[in-house]
Amino acid sequence: MKKAQKGNEKAFVELFSQYQKDIYRISYTYVKNQNDALDVVQEVAYRSFKKIGTLKHPEYFKTWLIKMAITCSIDLIRKNKKIITMDTGYENLRGAEYHDTSLSITLQELVDKLNEEEKSIIILKFYQGYTFKEIAGILDIPLGTAKSIMYRALEKLRKDLGEVGSCE
């Protein structure tokens, strides 16, 4: 860690590679696209290499990287929302069976409806398996707040799932 903080590229690559898969998994959960997730991993590598000297507590390196991955993922999602896609008529080419599957709602779509804070906690807790204490550290919020946000998010998911079930 000390070598990496002093600018040793080889030491940094060795450290970063230990957490590369975790960063990919967390970013993929947000961006839902392999190429975008890989872009996030690359961006986290770049930012963390540039800023590793500012890391005051080396024991929190993984937490620092995960927090950076979440930030980069959210930034990418916001950037992509600004991109307007052109309708190329592809919808007309798809068969009716394609439309049936597009009507079904998934848990991921429900999670996507949550605000960023709620979504982050749900992803970290249930998709990545972090404890509340770890989540509070990653998101830099009090432990009680992390729990409250998660239970509020779960209640929203239950409500939305109930509405979906009553429509069918």
Q: What is the CATH number of the domain that holds 131?
A: 1.10.10.10
Query: How distant, in Å, are the alpha carbons of 4, 37, 138, 145 from that of 68?
Result: 17, 13, 9, 20
Range from 5-14, 62-71, 120-129 that averages highest in pLDDT: 62-71
Is 128 inside any structural domain?
yes
The three-state secondary structure class of 136 is helix
Is the pLDDT at 157 greater than 70? The verdict is: yes
Query: How many structural domains are present in the chain?
Result: 2
Q: Closest by alpha carbon to 165, among 98, 120, 107?
A: 107
Host domain of residue 27: 1-82
Quick: pLDDT tens for 57-89.
Answer: 888 888 899 999 999 998 888 887 765 544 444
